[in-house]
């Protein structure tokens, strides 16, 4: 069942990339997280090791904690991408405004010279 869910999640992610609803540079980290969590959840020894390292009494909660950590990392990554996109948009708006202002100044100087 775990493998089926992993394949289903990966297929859904690839579908979103193919339909251009999700950027490929963002989907790589999502796909990697899905694969790492699925492999981690399949290995009983990894679950026991993670639970003992994190000092968790109930071992399956180690996977939940790792999943929350991965989600936090992905949210942080998406925030970085959003911040970069906003900075690029702002720089583009400033550039267009400067070009428009220069064009208006040229038009005014032409009209005054005539």
Which pLDDT does position 111 carry in this prediction? Answer: 78
Whether pTM exceeds 0.75 = no
* Per-residue pLDDT reduced to its tens digit, 12-26: 878 888 888 877 777
Which pLDDT does position 69 carry in this prediction? Answer: 85
Q: Residue ranges of the domains in the chain? A: 2-113
Q: Going by C-beta distance under 8 Å and a sequence separation of 6 or more, which residues neighbour residue 61? A: 51
* Per-residue pLDDT reduced to its tens digit, 46-105: 888 888 888 888 888 888 888 888 888 888 888 888 899 999 999 999 999 999 999 998
């Amino acid at each position: 069942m775990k493998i089926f869910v992993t394949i289903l999640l990966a297929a859904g992610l690839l579908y979103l990339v193919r339909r251009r609803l999700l950027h490929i540079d963002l989907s790589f980290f999502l796909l990697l997280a899905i694969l790492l969590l699925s492999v981690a959840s399949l290995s009983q020894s990894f679950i026991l090791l993670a639970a003992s390292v994190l000092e968790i009494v109930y071992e399956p909660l180690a996977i939940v904690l790792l999943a929350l950590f991965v989600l936090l990392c992905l949210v942080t990554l998406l925030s970085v991408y959003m911040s970069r996109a906003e900075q690029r948009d702002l720089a583009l708006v400033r550039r267009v405004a400067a070009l428009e202002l220069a064009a208006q100044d040229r038009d005014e100087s032409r009209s005054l010279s005539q």
